[in-house]
C-alpha cells in the first residue's frame, strides 16, 4: 500500500516553484559572471587577460625537441646552430632591432599583457613594444603581403581560444637558436586558462616546405599581477648589432663606437 504524501495544492504553489527556479538561476548566473576590468571587457568568453611571463626554457620547445626539417632547411639550421654554439649566431633579424616574428615572440624572456574585448584580443609585449592583434569578430584573413606576425583570427571553442595565423615573413626564426621556417608557415594556437595563475598556449606549426609533418608544443605562462609592462627601446641601447661578417655581436659597445 502506498504511503500518503502530503502535497501543497493550488496554482500559487506551482508559480512560486517556477519563480524560485527562474530567478534563483538568474541570481546564480549573475554571481558567477566574471567581473569586468581595465583589461577584460568580454564577459561572453573566459578571461585570459593579465600580465603573463613565459615559463621554461626560451627555445620554442623547452624540452629541446625539433620538427623534422626538409632540405634545404635542415642544412640552414645546422649552419645556424654551429654558429650559435660558437657564440656568433647568424641570420638573426632581432640583432638589428627588427621584430622577432611569430612564433618567436611568444617565447622571448619578457612579459606581455593581454587585453580582451569583444571582437579582439590584444597581446602587448614589453619586448621592443611589439603588438599582436587577434581578431575574433568573424573576419577572414585578407590577401595581404607577409608581415612579421602575420594575420591572426580566432574563435572560441568552449573555454579555449583557437587562433589561426597566416602570411608570416620567411626571414624570421622560430626561436633564438635559429630554427627556420618558410613562407608557407601556418600556425594554430589553442589558448586556455588552466587555473587563476596559469595560461596555456598549445602551438602547432605546419609548413609543407620546411617541415615533414606538423610540430606541436605547449607553452605555459605565469600570471604576474604586480608587474607593469616597461618601456623597451632596442635602438637606444643595441648591444647585438650585426657585424660586417653577418654575425651577431654581444656585449656593451666600445666608447666612440655604435
User: pLDDT tens-digit profile of 26-77?
Assistant: 444 444 567 899 999 999 999 999 999 999 999 999 999 999 999 999 999 9
Report H helices in the chain. Answer: 11-32, 73-85
Q: What is the pLDDT of residues 168-196, one digit of tens each?
A: 999 999 999 999 999 999 999 999 999 99
pLDDT computed for residue 238 by the predictor: 60
For residue 110, give the nearest of 249, 231, 252, 218 by alpha carbon. Answer: 231
CB distance 172 to 100 below 8 Å: yes
Whole-structure pTM value: 0.81
The candidate with the shortest Cα–Cα distance to 242, out of 92, 127, 104, is 92
* Per-residue pLDDT, 257: 43
Cβ-Cβ contacts under 8 Å for 215 (sequence gap 6 or more): 66, 67, 68, 204, 205
Amino acid at each position: 500500500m502506498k504511503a500518503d504524501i502530503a502535497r501543497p495544492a493550488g496554482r500559487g504553489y506551482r508559480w512560486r516553484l517556477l519563480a524560485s527556479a527562474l530567478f534563483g538561476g538568474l541570481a546564480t548566473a549573475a554571481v558567477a559572471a566574471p567581473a569586468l576590468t581595465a583589461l577584460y571587457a568580454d564577459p561572453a568568453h573566459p578571461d585570459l587577460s593579465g600580465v603573463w611571463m613565459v615559463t621554461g626554457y626560451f627555445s620554442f620547445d623547452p624540452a629541446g625537441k625539433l620538427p623534422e626539417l626538409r632540405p634545404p632547411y635542415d642544412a640552414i639550421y645546422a649552419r645556424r646552430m654551429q654558429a650559435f654554439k660558437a657564440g656568433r649566431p647568424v641570420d638573426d633579424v632581432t640583432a638589428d632591432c627588427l621584430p622577432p616574428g611569430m612564433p618567436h615572440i611568444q617565447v622571448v624572456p619578457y612579459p606581455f599583457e593581454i587585453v580582451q574585448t569583444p571582437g579582439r584580443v590584444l597581446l602587448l609585449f614589453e619586448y621592443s613594444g611589439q603588438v599582436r592583434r587577434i581578431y575574433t569578430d568573424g573576419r577572414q584573413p585578407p590577401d595581404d603581403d607577409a608581415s612579421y606576425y602575420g594575420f591572426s583570427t580566432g574563435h572560441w571553442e568552449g573555454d579555449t581560444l583557437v587562433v589561426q595565423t597566416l602570411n608570416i615573413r620567411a626571414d624570421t626564426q622560430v626561436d633564438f637558436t635559429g630554427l627556420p621556417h618558410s613562407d608557407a608557415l601556418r600556425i594554430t594556437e589553442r589558448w586556455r586558462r588552466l587555473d587563476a595563475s596559469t595560461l596555456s598556449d598549445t602551438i602547432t606549426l605546419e609548413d609543407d616546405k620546411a617541415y615533414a609533418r606538423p610540430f606541436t608544443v605547449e607553452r605555459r605562462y605565469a600570471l604576474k599581477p604586480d608587474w607593469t609592462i616597461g618601456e623597451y627601446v632596442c635602438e637606444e641601447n643595441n648591444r647585438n648589432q650585426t657585424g660586417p661578417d653577418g654575425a651577431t655581436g654581444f656585449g656593451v659597445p666600445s666608447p666612440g663606437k655604435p
